[in-house]
Every structure is written in C-alpha cells, then in structure tokens.
Structure 1
C-alpha cells in the first residue's frame, strides 16, 4: 500500500489538511448557533446550504477546470473556502452563514473533483483499489482529527476559524508545488435515475435514505450532544468516534456482503443503525454510553453508501457502472440536503432526542424497504456479485476513480 501511496503523496497530504481544516466547521457552526439560541430549524437550514452547494458544485465545477486548469481551479476553490472560514469570525449572522455554507459546499465540490480526477490519472488497474483505500484513510482521518480543533474555542472563540483558514491555506502547497501532469477530466455519461431505480430499487432508495440519515447527523449531532449537557471536548470526541467507527466497519461488512446476499447485509446495517438509536432515545446511558453507541452508529451507517453502490453494480454491465455510480452520488447528496431539515423538525417537535428518532425511523424505513425487495426479486448469486469497494460520498468523479480498468478483474 505504501508503494501505491508514494506517487500521490502530495494529493494525500492535501486532502488530509483540507479535511482537518474544514471537516470540523459544520460541528463548530452548529455549536455556535446553538449557544447563540438559534432554533434547530435555523441550524438545519445552515447545514442544508452546504449540501446544496456540494450537490450543485459537483455538477458544475468541471467547466471551471476546463477553462483554467486543475492547479488554478484548486487554488481558487481553496482560497474561497479559506476566506469563508475567516468571514464566520467577522460576521456572526445566520443568514450570512447560510450563504457562506453554500459557497463552502460549492468550493469543496471543486476540491474533490480536482483531487479525485488527479488520483484517477495516477492510479493503474493494478493499484486502483489501494489508491482509493489510501485516499479514504487520508480523508476520514483528517476529518476525525480536525474535530479536536473545536477545543481551541474554549478561551478564544475566533481561534478555530483562524486555524481552519491556516490549514486550508497550507493545503495549497502540495498541489501548487507538484510536478504531476494535470489530469484530463473523464466525462461521466448521464444515467437516468428512473432507469437506475428499475435496475436497483434498493440501491437508489438505500442511498437516498443514507444521505438523509448522515445529513441530519452531520448537521445536528453536535447540537444533540450539547443539549444533553455534554461539553465541547466531548462533542469533539463523539464526532471523531462516529467517523472512526465508520472507517473501522466498512471493510468487514463489505467482505461479508461479497460472500452472502448483499441485500441482507444492507438490511442488517439499516436495522442495526435503527437499533443503536433506540437506547440513545429511550435510556439514560451517560457520556461513555453515548460515545460508544455513536461509534457503532458510524460503523453501520457509513457502510451503507458503498454497500448500496455495490448492490447496484451487481445488476449493471461494466460500461454502465460509472454513470450509475455518479447518479448514486447525486442521490446521496439529495438525501443529505433534506436530512438536516427533517432532523431539525424532529428536534423541534420532540426535543434533543428527536434527532435520533428521525434517524432511527429513516434507518427502519430503509430496512423495511430492503426486506420487501428480498421478496420482490431473487438474489444475485454470490459468485456473480461485484466485489465490494469502499467509496467516498463526495462527487461523481469518485465513480471514475472507483471504476476498474481491467475487465478481467471483475467477477
């Protein structure tokens, strides 16, 4: 794996620094809004703006790159994000923060497309899986580590925003100084969502529900922790443990899905996520119990997106998979846009626990839909299933990175 990492070390360093500098902002903003007395609806709206910008940006930023090139586009997107991070400290107003989060999402889409298209160019059929795995490790480890920057705000409220801008600015250096040839954007053929549903109903519905679950969590998980009386350091630890749990269980669950009917693993993950939410809602489990269950929630919920993509690929030909995977990324994004609004409505009606009532209900809905699909269609034989591949929930360019160039390697 280290051999595969060396040629793309500049890209891996850039994504680690970017996620460390930006991944905690959603948590920080939610905490600040909650402290200022904002309603759950306002906090959810601010979070929704980010996912809306990410979704729109993933469909539009390629035009910018085609016009000015990858390095200049990357520098422009990161500079905008860095400036936005400082603006939060200057203007403390929810309407402005909503607009800034939309800009952040659009800029981050540009960053993801830049880096993922570069990784796609550097990867070969022999090491593509290793490169993607290393990219996932760098992305999620940066996001998990960045959560602890929340603690900087205890005595200096503006310091986390400044550190965010510093890390984002430093992330420019590996790309600006690289000698790697600028990549060519791979065109992703559109794939009808109607056709995708006909091919794999569980794939597209599962992806949509997963997006809503995780969108609600990312937007309001910190607010829940704060409202039940836990401090800033515990918020950082909780969020980091959820991400770490998500990384830890993806591959074991993926391997399991390669050996059995993949739908059963998807259903089990949905039902397990719903089951984890139950004690959070109904029992007084304390800080340690909440963090432990958060890790389990991350483990089961983070695995759902790549499992749904793999399940969809089981029903598609080789040349359809890239377009279908890009459609699933956008479906996930649509769910993530709706998730914070649904979650905030739950918290407004039921109090802090309403967030996990909503998330648990969505997970239960996904599990029930999956059970119905097991009766509606026969399972794909295990030997005919596409091998599981852990995937980032970023932009359609990740679908190109995931694609296997050597047809002989797919089952």
Structure 2
C-alpha cells in the first residue's frame, strides 16, 4: 500500500493543545517519518518532530493493508471481536463493508458518516463519537484480520459457510512452554489493529468500529499500547522495551522489499487466492516481571539479552547494527553470546533463516492485587505462515529471559490483502 503524500498544513493544523498533552505523556517521543507499505517513504511532515503525527495520512485502500510495513507509529489500540450469536453471513458482509467505509474515512482524518459528530439530528445519536474532532490524522492505520473461529468454531460449527475457504495455515497456535494464557485475553473471530501517533486518534478508531458493530459483533478483548518496541523503517531509531534494552534492531524493514516479499506476504504458491498479498498476524500479551528484573545485575541483564544495554551492540562486538557473530568467544574461550541469550535463540541462523516483521508495543495496565506492575510487551508479528512464528517461539523455550516473562494472551489472524477503493475488506473472502 502506498502512503498519501503528507498534506500541507492548513490553518487548523500544527500542534494542538491535545497534541502537546500527548507529547508530554510520551516524554518527547522521537521523530516519526511518514512512510508506505512496499518500501516507498513519504517525507516527514510539519509537526512530526513533536511525535504528534500531525498531518501524516496513509491511504486505507491499496494492494496491501496499511499498518504492516508502514513505519510503526507510537500508539496502539488493538481489539478482537466475536460475531453475535445467530449472526448471518449477510450481517458479516455488511459489518465488514461498514467497517471499511469508516476506516477509509478515519485514516484521512474525516469523521465517521456524512453528518459526523455534530451535524446530524439533535434527536438521534451522532454518527461519530466526536473525541477526535480537531485532531489531525496522526498517521492512523487500521488493519483487519480474521481468526480461525470465523471459519469454524472450536466445536466444529461452520456458522458462515466459510470452512472450505479457511487457509490451511490458519490454525490455533499450539501451547508453548511456560504459557499461562487467559482465555479472556485470547482468540477472537475478527481483529482490528489501530496504530497512530496520538493515543486519542487510535482509541477513537476502535471506539467507533465497536459502536458500528453493535448487534452484529461484540468486543472480546482489547489492548492499549505505547512506545513502539520495533522499527519497521530505516527512517526510525530503534526504540526500547520496558527492560530498558533496544528492541527490534534486526527487524525486517520496509526498505527491504525482497525480504518482505519472502517472509511477510502470502504468495500465489502459498494461497489461497483470497489471501495472496496478505499476511498472518500473531498477537501475544507478554507480561514482564518488572520487579524481579530490576534487581538483576547489569552484566547478567546483558548476558541474558546478548546485547549491551546502552549502545545495543551485540556482545560479539561492534555497534548496534553490527552483524551478530554467534561463533565469537571471549578471551577465556567461552561464547561471547551465551547459549541461552535471547538474540542467539531468535537469530535466523538458528531458525532456518526465518525472519518475522515485528510491530510490538509496551503496555502498563496499572498494578495487580500484590501491587506489582501489570506491564510488559504486546508482541505483534507478521509472517506469511504462522508456522514460522511457531518455529522461533519453540527455539525461545530455552531463552534465559523466560524467568522474567509470562505469556498471558495469544491469538492468530489471517490478514487479507488490501482492497481497491470502493471495495470491502470482506469482498475476496466472501466472494
């Protein structure tokens, strides 16, 4: 998908009071540059240095859905939905069509519906909830996906006549070592990923799509995220996760179209036809045991990760982007990167060359009943076969970091290709 060129600032553009509040909340987030799926990058726009996203716009329509190779925005609102009991195939089609229309408008900074939040009848609910009035598009992308249960329930019921259109690759993820999954934070018939550089813009998107779904689908679970934990473009600096380490240094980038085609997009050989040009999304809610981690010595933290905490360079030597040498040894002959170090076990050389496109986010959801932070990483990865994620995750069963991690939520979704203007995200599936 190609991004629209940034719109020149108008009289109402620039940094609003809301944008300034958002900037203060994120502690001065770094520059986010406009970009595009497929590797084409738009120039940075006025106000982008504030982290507010300003007037950056991404087209909803196109060959691939936005929000995959788009330069990762700073904020996330992710939601999974279940179709209502007794919902029909026609109701599913109408919901996806209504969502498509609303998403296409919101990503351009427009209100939902023709009358929006304030121009409709005073005796009827507004078409738009209104909390994004006066806010710029802020680089909003909205990405839709279909879960395994949309095609067939766990009980084997084909509610919508879609069982024969289910991709063979779309299977519930297996249970992994150390999983402590909460069913209330896992699965779902449909998913929506809303990313933006203003949290209120992302929340507005999910709120309005939830309202539109009323009577046809209901929210199953959702997750707010802040401070992206990976970069998907060379225009972005590498961010840090809540353990304080740079995350996503070796992530796939939009400027690597051949690599993205090999690892992310579903090819015609992989199919089915309606998924060609799409991808598969894995979502994992990973709670970090922050209080225990904060008592670990710096040298041990670096050994567990396999990188220095400051520069982010691999312990095999060099600066952040230096190639990782898995065979390097210290003066005493011990491996420079430990056998249970995260970067070793996640490295493509250990996993048959597999690379994942990650778009994770930090989260802090208050504290638990013991007063510990309910915080961690909301892991999102795109790949052209979920089996690739399974391979890497099984490799990470030996990861020394697991002592400080708990996987508490999990889901997998088929992400269809983008759609042409005037189409619906459900057209290819339901044809």
- Settle same-fold status: TM greater than 0.5: no
**TM-score, normalised with respect to structure 1:** 0.26
- The structure with the largest helix share of the pair is 1
Structure with the larger RCO, 1 or 2 (CA within 8 Å, 6+ apart): 1
